[in-house]
Amino acid sequence: MKLYIKYDGIVACRVILQEQLEKHNVKYQLLDLGEIEIDGDIAEDNFAELQESLNHYGISILNNQKSQLIQRIKDAIVEMVYERDKLPTTTISHYLSEKLNFSYGYIANIFSEYTFTSIENFIIIQKIERAKKLIVEEELTLTEISYKLNYSSVAHLSSQFKKVTGLTPSMFKRIVDKRRLLVNQVE
Amino acid sequence: MISHKDPIHILLADDDEDDRNFFSEAIAELKMSNRVTLFKDGKELMEYLNQPEIKTPHILFLDLNMPGKTGFDCLKEIRTNSKFKELSIAIYSTSSSEKDIEETFVGGANIYIKKPNDFSKLKKVIKDVVNINWQFHSSGLNKETFFFSI
């Protein structure tokens, strides 16, 4: 016997998603095709199970792979800025594409799509974060900090610091010191 | 897991209705998906925040000059409650004196906005603020030394 059927793939997919998300106790909202809004985060175990159940129906969670790549890009940048004694002098695009095995164009596009900022800007933010840390630690002078972070001069560091925070390094230091004093007084 | 698709929750407390409208219009034009809750004074804001089991919003835009409970009163109250240590506070004021900016940051604010008087500039400022705040929020950067003056 042969049956002839007609089916609506989109409806089928939505029903599968609804059933599986409910089965895994995920609070959700189905958006346009291919997008689901999840309330809050999903625990890692539960996420893996959900992913497996969906894979069974030929559905895979794309966003997670992209999120993972974003995280790897961020990690690579943080490692570059923080863990090395001195920043690499080769171009950053070269460093990142070697490290992550993707073309820099791909990395840069996906990064700005998901983080609402460019890789270049993110690196500047991270460098200024490191500068803040070094300023607060008080072990290095501003000249030494600018050398360590590959700035051509203290003036260059100061102007980028001002661009990212709106403050001069010395005003920043003063605020941190005053805040600490206040916290100590309260305790 | 980073949830890039979570809408960012923005609070706004301002006693001036026109300002509230300008702000919410500017926020509505952000690319980032967002949810905005408005308050017309400090009392209303603190009542909202003091509800038990409230989920900490991402960012609060706080007018400094409000009758009754001022923005500075709210700032102090919020910063003495460790429940809100992840909440970024953006103060806006008409003053741009270095002394006022410094005091606000020492008092626990993260962002200081000199209120622009033209709408297109306001939109740009809000975009920049929400964006930098998002980087701090989504990349685990140190909130204790997060200052941004614009």
ipTM: 0.87
> Greater confidence, A173 or A184?
A173
State residue A170's pLDDT score. 94
Burial B84-115 (b: 16+ CB within 10 A, else e): beebbbbbbbeeeeeebbbebbbbbbbbbbbb
Q: How far apart are the C-alpha atoms of B17 and B25, rounded to whole Å?
A: 12
Q: What average pLDDT does range A19-44 have in this prediction?
A: 82
State residue A62's pLDDT score. 64
> Greater confidence, B25 or A36?
B25
Q: What is the mean pLDDT of chain A?
A: 86
**What is the Cβ-side half-sphere exposure of residue A77, based on CA atoms within 13 angstroms?**
25
> Greater confidence, A165 or B30?
A165
In a domain, B140, yes or no: yes
State residue B4's pLDDT score. 47
Q: Which chain A residues contact residue B1 at CB under 8 A?
A: 41-42, 44, 47, 64, 67
Ordered by where they begin, the domains of chain A are 9-60 (no CATH), 66-186 (1.10.10.60)
CB A73 within 8 A of CB A107: yes
Q: What average pLDDT does range A157-182 have in this prediction?
A: 94
Confidence of residue A35 (pLDDT cuts 50, 70, 90): confident
Cα A175 to Cα A19, A136, B61, B77, distances in angstroms: 53, 11, 21, 19
Q: In residues, how long is chain A?
A: 187
| A165 near B CB under 8 A | yes
* Contact assignment for A179 to B131 by CB distance below 8 Å: no
Q: In residues, how long is chain B?
A: 150
State residue A155's pLDDT score. 97
Q: How far apart are the C-alpha atoms of A60 and A46, rounded to whole Å?
A: 15
Q: How far apart are the C-alpha atoms of B72 and A170, rounded to whole Å?
A: 24
State residue A11's pLDDT score. 83
User: How many other C-beta atoms are found inside a 10 Å radius of the C-beta of residue B22?
Assistant: 18
**Chain B: closest CA distance from residue A114 (Å):** 7
Q: How far apart are the C-alpha atoms of B1 and A121, rounded to whole Å?
A: 23
Structural domain total, chain B: 1
Taking CA atoms, what residue in A is nearest to B106?
Answer: A179
Q: Which chain B residues contact residue A170 at CB under 8 A?
A: none
State residue B148's pLDDT score. 93
Question: Residues 6 or more apart from B82 whose CB is under 8 A from it?
Answer: none
* Contact assignment for A63 to B141 by CB distance below 8 Å: no
State residue B45's pLDDT score. 97
| A114 near B CB under 8 A | yes
CB B138 within 8 A of CB B4: yes
Q: Which of A30, A167, A183, A186 to mutate to test the interface with B (most CBs of B within 10 A)?
A: A167
Residue for token pair 């009758």: B67
Cα B51 to Cα B55, B75, B82, distances in angstroms: 10, 17, 15
CB A116 within 8 A of CB A125: no
Confidence of residue A63 (pLDDT cuts 50, 70, 90): low
Q: Which of B85, B132, B142 to mutate to test the interface with A (most CBs of A within 10 A)?
A: B132
Mapped onto helix, strand or coil, the DSSP state of residue B37 is strand
> Greater confidence, A34 or A31?
A31
> Greater confidence, B71 or A60?
B71
Taking CA atoms, what residue in B is nearest to A180?
Answer: B106
Helix axes A119-137, A154-165, angle to 10 degrees: 110
In a domain, B3, yes or no: no
Q: Which chain A residues contact residue B3 at CB under 8 A?
A: 38, 40-41
State residue B3's pLDDT score. 44
* Predicted TM-score of the model (pTM): 0.76
Q: Comparing C-alpha atoms, which of A128, A123, A170 is closest to residue A146? A: A128
In a domain, B1, yes or no: no
**Chain B: closest CA distance from residue A4 (Å):** 41
B27-38 pLDDT, tens digit per residue, is 988 888 889 999
Which of the residues in chain B have pLDDT under 50? 1-4
Q: The domain containing residue B93 runs over which residues? A: 8-149
CB A151 within 8 A of CB A157: yes
A95-136 pLDDT, tens digit per residue, is 889 888 899 999 999 999 888 899 999 999 999 999 999 999
Confidence of residue A186 (pLDDT cuts 50, 70, 90): low
Residues within 8 A of B (CB atoms), A 18-37 only = 35, 37
Burial of B42 (0-12, 13-18, 19+ CB in 10 A): buried
State residue B70's pLDDT score. 92
In a domain, B108, yes or no: yes
